[in-house]
């Protein structure tokens, strides 16, 4: 019995210990504190992303801008004539500068060909003025060819006195009619 007695005693001792520990835990009150309140969150409005242009649209826009700029340059090219002295077809110094700019444009824009139109004032016969207008146009062509423009890209025509830039029978009008005009051909 002693063995049995000691087992019972042990069991009672363990039970007592569990009851003691359990009762001391039950007496403790656990305080649960609330988590600290967070500051209110401000809504951040996000702007919708700008629509992304596709590559084809960007390319078309750039091409249109380039064409617009080229059209402006083409107009400036055609609006600038060169002028000659009475009964002469030699290229003057200021005309050489103008022709150099035209050669630079033609070299950079090989899709264009050029027509040079020779003009005269009203003095002289129609036949004489047609021949003089042709010599004036050919002088400009030769100058441009010397600057590196292919002769096949340049044609000439003479209008003689038939297409005056300015009407009148005085030196001011005549000086504006003795000219070469330049027309781009695409």
Residue 135's CATH number: 3.30.1330.60
Residue 182 pLDDT: 98
Report pLDDT for 93.
96
Residue position matching structure tokens 């003009």: 119
Query: Tens of pLDDT along 25-75?
Result: 555 555 656 666 666 666 666 666 656 568 888 899 999 999 999 999 999
How many Å apart are CA 15 and CA 80, to the nearest integer? Answer: 118
pLDDT, residue 186, reads 87
175 — pLDDT class (breaks 50, 70, 90): very high
In contact, 53 and 158? CB cutoff 8 Å: no
Residue 108 has a pLDDT of 95
The answer to whether residue 25 sits within a structural domain is no
Between CA 46 and CA 179 the distance in angstroms is 65
Within a domain: 119 = yes
Q: What is the pLDDT of residue 4?
A: 62
Secondary structure letter of residue 51 according to DSSP? P
Q: Residue 48: its pLDDT value, please?
A: 61
Q: Is residue 45 part of a domain?
A: no
| 117: β partners | 157, 181
pLDDT tens digits, 113-166: 999 999 999 999 999 999 999 999 999 999 999 999 999 999 999 999 999 999
Q: What integer pLDDT is reported at residue 143 of this predicted model? A: 98
> Span 79-98, mean pLDDT?
97
pLDDT the model gives residue 55? 84
Domain range for 119 is: 70-185
Q: Residue 177 is encoded by which pair of tokens?
A: 């009619």
Q: Which residue has the higher pLDDT, 96 or 23?
A: 96
- Token digits of residue 147: 């600057």
For the chain, the domain total comes to 1
């Amino acid at each position: 019995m002693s063995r049995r007695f000691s087992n019972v005693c042990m069991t009672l001792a363990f039970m007592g210990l569990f009851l003691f520990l359990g009762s001391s835990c039950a007496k403790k009150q656990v305080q649960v504190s609330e988590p600290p309140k967070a500051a209110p969150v401000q809504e951040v409005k996000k702007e919708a992303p700008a629509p992304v242009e596709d590559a084809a649209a960007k390319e078309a826009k750039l091409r249109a801008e380039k064409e617009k700029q080229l059209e402006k340059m083409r107009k400036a090219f055609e609006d600038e004539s060169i002028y000659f002295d009475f009964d002469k077809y030699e290229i003057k110094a200021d005309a050489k500068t103008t022709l150099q700019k035209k050669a630079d444009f033609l070299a950079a824009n090989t899709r264009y060909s050029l027509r040079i139109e020779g003009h005269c004032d009203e003095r002289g016969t129609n036949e004489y003025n047609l021949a003089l207008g042709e010599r004036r146009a050919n002088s400009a062509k030769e100058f441009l060819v010397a600057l590196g423009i292919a002769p096949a890209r340049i044609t000439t025509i003479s209008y003689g006195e038939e297409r005056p830039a300015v009407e009148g029978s005085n030196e001011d009008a005549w000086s504006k009619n003795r000219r070469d005009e330049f027309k781009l051909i695409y």
